[in-house]
Amino acid sequence: GNSVTQMEGPVTLSEEAFLTINCTYTATGYPSLFWYVQYPGEGLQLLLKATKADDKGSNKGFEATYRKETTSFHLEKGSVQVSDSAVYFCALSEGAGTALIFGKGTTLSVSS
Amino acid sequence: DAGITQSPRHKVTETGTPVTLRCHQTENHRYMYWYRQDPGHGLRLIHYSYGVKDTDKGEVSDGYSVSRSKTEDFLLTLESATSSQTSVYFCAISESSVWLNTEAFFGQGTRLTVV
C-alpha cells in the first residue's frame, strides 16, 4: 500500500543553519504530496504542497520539490529560526476521495 | 482559520466505558476525517466521511465507529475504551478530495486517556 517514510528525529539546529528533512514515498499511482507543520499544543497546518512531478512547493522560506524519479519530497530551508521549532509531517494523497497518509513526523528544535 | 471545533479537548475515562468525541465544522466541507496521533507512529487514519451517512474505514479502524448524520458533525465512538486507545485524536475537514489540490484543515485535537 501507499506509505511515507521520513527521516528520524529529533533534528537540532542553531539559528540560521540550513535545514533538510528527508521524505520518500511509496505509491501505486501519481500522488499529491504535502508538508504539514505542528506547533506545540496545536493541530496541523499545511506548510506547502505539490501535485505533480517537478512541481516545487514553497511557503515561509521552506521549499520542497516533487521528484518522481527518486520518489522523494525533501523539505529544505536556507536559514532556520527559533520560531520554526515544531514537528514536520510529510504526507501524500492518491486518488479522488482518498485521505492523507502521513509519515511519522520529524521534530525540529532550533536554538538561538 | 477554518471553523472546526473538537470536543471535549481533554478526557480521562475508565477501561470498558463508551466514549464519544465530536467534531463540528462551520465550513460546510464535504470531507471529514478522524486521525489518531501517537509517538513513533505519526498520524494514522481511523475513519473518514465523504458525505452525510457516507463513511469508510481507515488504517486503524478496529474498536472505533463513526457517524455523520449532518454535514457539520462527525462523531467518533469508542464502544468499549481500552488503554491502547489512549492517544491524541485529530479531526480534519476538506472541501473536496485533498488529492485535487484542496487543503485539509485540522482541529486542535482531543487528548484521551484511558485508565
**What rounded mean pLDDT belongs to chain A?**
93
As a whole number, mean pLDDT of residues B42-52 equals 93
Backbone angles phi, psi at A57, to 5 degrees: -95, 145
A64-100 confidence digits (pLDDT tens):
999 999 999 999 999 999 999 999 999 998 876 678 8
* Contact state of B108 with A34 under an 8 Å Cβ cutoff: no
Chain A contact probe: residue of B43, B55, B89, B94 with most A CBs at under 10 A: B43
Of the candidates A110, A35, A25, A105, the residue with the CA atom closest to the CA atom of residue A76: A35
pLDDT class for A54, splitting at 50, 70, 90? very high
B68-113 confidence digits (pLDDT tens):
999 999 999 999 999 999 999 999 998 877 666 677 899 999 999 9
**Beta carbons within 10 angstroms of residue B8's beta carbon:** 12
Q: What are the DSSP calls for B44-66, one per residue?
A: EEEEEEEETTEEEE-TT-TTEEE
Chain A: closest CA distance from residue B79 (Å): 24
Which three three-digit cell numbers place residue B49?
466521511
Question: What 3-state DSSP class applies to B79?
Answer: coil
Model pLDDT, residue B96: 78
Of the candidates B106, B13, B8, B21, the residue with the CA atom closest to the CA atom of residue B65: B21
Least CB–CB distance from A46: residue in B100, B103, B108: B103
Q: Are A75 and A64 in contact (CB under 8 A)?
A: yes
Chain B positions contacting chain A at CB under 8 Å are 31, 33, 35, 40-45, 48, 50, 58, 90, 92, 97-101, 103-104, 106-109
Which residue in the block uniquely carries the three cell numbers 470498558?
Answer: B16
For chain A, counts of helices (H) and of strands (E): 0, 12
Least CB–CB distance from B90: residue in A32, A41, A43: A43
For chain B, counts of helices (H) and of strands (E): 0, 11
Q: How many residues does chain A have?
A: 112
